[in-house]
Structure 1
Amino acid sequence: MPKPKTNLILNSKPQSQITLSEYITAIAWSSNSKYLAAATASGEIVLIDEAKAGNDLAQKQTELQAPTEISVDCLGFSADGRWLAAGGQDGKVRVWDLAGAQPAIASTIDLGKTWIEHLVWHPTRSEFAFGLGKYVQVWSAETLDIVTTLHFEQSTVLAIAWHPSGDYLSVGGDGGIKVWAAQDWYEDPILFEMPTAAAKMVWNPSGEYLVASTLDNLVVVMQWLGKDFDASPWRMQGFPGKIRYFDWTASKTSPLLASSSGSDVVVWEKHADLNVGWEGEVIKGHNNIVGFVAFKPKTETLASADENGRIAIWKDAKDWVQALETPMGEITALQWQPQGKKLAAANADGQLMLWTESSQGKGFR
């Protein structure tokens, strides 16, 4: 393993942690960093109010939903932090209003027996999109009503991503990607065809590129030209296994893309020569499958986490700086606080952990 650097980015030990009832399936920060939410495989949903003083997460915690023994698999906050939505195996999407003195359930959307696995909020409006079999529905938290229902047609929806401008919604599944214009939901979507199913999709923060992985371990980076994709996307192959996660950084003129596959973390950068395309560099710090990669907001500091509980921190997306101390258990969620001062991680034993910025690491970019 690499030798640790003296300048740490985060304190090695968690500042605080709590243990929930089961395997933690999802975590989410609100954009203003006030709230951290977590959901479990037993249906438990908790809200942590980071505005409250102290490091005791138990004293900051509000239980939004007690364990139901039915998994909650996705959750997220609206852009303004007022609303929290969650969905899962019971076919219901629940929406909480956080504007009052206490969180209050605003709506429960009953969708029958459809498992809700994907839910993504609009980048500026209080609207969210979620997968519903072969359909995607867009809901408004303000009106508590449907905005539109989109038919993907080819297959069950496997991925959903809003363009950062909020003007387009991209949906992936068998046969490729469809992109609908929010200005006119009835207009035919743009279709980007693939020989197999698009499994994961992430727009870079400026909205210039969309990366997608397929079920046969192909990665495609498409350049967005404003109303359509460039006809010649970049294709990357040769990954050791399933693509588990992507993340982009917005800190450079040329964006960086991190991907995880097997025990490899690869950092991609677009070469100045268009004929070369995107070049990838493997950074080595894991011996187990890496489930998550996450750039600290507006920096090139990268966190990566694996199935053995190892979380590595990298400077400039290439230089190993430190490993965070965690219990030995699969990391099931990893997310930087939007302000970048804390890192949250969760594991298969129900532990939710928070690390804080080290005074040694201030000034690192």
Structure 2
Amino acid sequence: MTSTQPLLRERLCGELQQAITALSWSADGEFLAIATAGGELLLLDFRAGCEELLQGLSDTSLDAIGFSADGQFLMAVGQAGELLLWELGGSGVRPIAFAPQPLGAGWLDAAAWQPRGLLLAMAAGRRVRLWDGALRQWRPDSLELPGTAQCLAWSADGRRLAAGGDQGRWWLWPVTLPGRPRQRRSGRTGFG
């Protein structure tokens, strides 16, 4: 008879001022970002054994956070309607904050990093915008939608971007051709 070890054991715990709304691990597992309904953003650096409060308590929530695939950037979006970005210099190095970037779309619910690249897709109302981490600027080719985008997902190879929105609509784009999305509404799932 073999003894079974518990799969999960608490190793570390902590508290922030408000409810936790989002968690994100860096690809190498060295960092964990924690966001709250009160706008707090905490970065845990496991290799250095330290934590850094990147943003303190505010009156707006953070709802989506994530690390770029290479771990160079951390992003956060939420109720304030602006993109918050930090450049990470590695373990033990204090992150550098970019100036907040207002997107003029109210609450931002969805943002997603390209799995094998440095493109960050942002759902801002009826537009999907792309921030290019390699160039550190917005790409000019935003995607205009007939409805509001509420969620985003990249394909595993990073070549396609999907958005889901209001009224059961969804859109799909090849990344190299950011023109008009293909849209189908013929069946319950959208497939013919």
**Shared fold (TM-score, shorter chain, > 0.5):** yes
Q: How many residues align?
A: 187
Q: Following the alignment from structure 2 to structure 1, what is the Cα–Cα distance between the partners of residues 89 and 186?
A: 43
Which residue number corresponds to residue 35 of structure 1? 31
Q: Following the alignment from structure 1 to structure 2, what is the Cα–Cα distance between the partners of residues 39 and 194?
A: 39
Q: How does 1:10-89 map onto structure 2 within 5 Å? A: 10-12=7-9, 14-53=10-49, 60-89=50-79
Is the Cα contact below 8 Å between 1:76 and 1:121 reproduced in 2? yes
The reply on whether 1:103 has 2:98 as its aligned counterpart is no
Which residue number corresponds to residue 107 of structure 2? 115
Which residue number corresponds to residue 175 of structure 2? 182
Return the match for 1:140 from 109, 123, 132. 132
Is the Cα contact below 8 Å between 1:43 and 1:65 reproduced in 2? yes
- Structure 1: which amino acid aligns with 2:176? Q
Residues 65 and 170 of structure 1: is their aligned pair in 2 closer, same or farther, counting only changes over 3 Å? same
Judging by fraction of residues, say which structure has more strand.
1
- Could you say what the CA RMSD is over the residues aligned between the two structures, in angstroms? 2.1
Which residue number corresponds to residue 94 of structure 1? 84
Return the match for 2:144 from 147, 151, 155. 151
Larger CA Rg, structure 1 vs 2: 1
Which residue number corresponds to residue 198 of structure 1? none
Is the Cα contact below 8 Å between 2:105 and 2:124 reproduced in 1? no
Q: Please list the CA deviations of residues 257-298 of structure 1 after superposition, one character each: whole Å capped at 9, or x if unmatched.
A: xxxxxxxxxxxxxxxxxxxxxxxxxxxxxxxxxxxxxxxxxx
Unaligned runs of 5+ in 2: none
State the secondary structure of the residue aligned to 1:193: coil
Is the Cα contact below 8 Å between 2:17 and 2:38 reproduced in 1? yes
Deviation of 1:46 (Å): 0.6
Is the Cα contact below 8 Å between 1:42 and 1:67 reproduced in 2? yes
Deviation of 1:62 (Å): 0.3
Q: How does 1:303-314 map onto structure 2 within 5 Å? A: none
The reply on whether 1:160 has 2:161 as its aligned counterpart is no
Is the Cα contact below 8 Å between 1:131 and 1:160 reproduced in 2? yes
Q: Following the alignment from structure 2 to structure 1, what is the Cα–Cα distance between the partners of residues 169 and 60?
A: 31
Q: How does 1:309-324 map onto structure 2 within 5 Å? A: none
TM-score relative to the length of structure 2: 0.89
Is the Cα contact below 8 Å between 1:175 and 1:194 reproduced in 2? no
State the secondary structure of the residue aligned to 1:125: coil
- Structure 2: which amino acid aligns with 1:179? L
State the secondary structure of the residue aligned to 1:18: coil
State the secondary structure of the residue aligned to 2:184: strand
State the secondary structure of the residue aligned to 2:13: strand
TM-score relative to the length of structure 1: 0.48
Which residue number corresponds to residue 236 of structure 1? none
Is the Cα contact below 8 Å between 1:96 and 1:107 reproduced in 2? no
Deviation of 1:6 (Å): 5.3
Q: Please list the CA deviations of residues 156-178 of structure 1 after superposition, one character each: whole Å capped at 9, or x if unmatched.
A: 11221111111111111234221
Q: Following the alignment from structure 1 to structure 2, what is the Cα–Cα distance between the partners of residues 19 and 26?
A: 14
Deviation of 1:143 (Å): 2.1
State the secondary structure of the residue aligned to 2:142: strand
Highest relative contact order (Cα 8 Å, sep 6+), 1 or 2? 1
Q: Following the alignment from structure 2 to structure 1, what is the Cα–Cα distance between the partners of residues 68 and 122?
A: 13
State the secondary structure of the residue aligned to 2:171: strand
Unaligned runs of 5+ in 1: 54-59, 196-217, 223-230, 233-365
Deviation of 1:9 (Å): 4.5
Q: Following the alignment from structure 2 to structure 1, what is the Cα–Cα distance between the partners of residues 89 and 67?
A: 12
Which residue number corresponds to residue 308 of structure 1? none
- Structure 2: which amino acid aligns with 1:81? G
Q: Please list the CA deviations of residues 157-215 of structure 1 after superposition, one character each: whole Å capped at 9, or x if unmatched.
A: 122111111111111123422111111112x32213267xxxxxxxxxxxxxxxxxxxx
Is the Cα contact below 8 Å between 2:21 and 2:63 reproduced in 1? yes
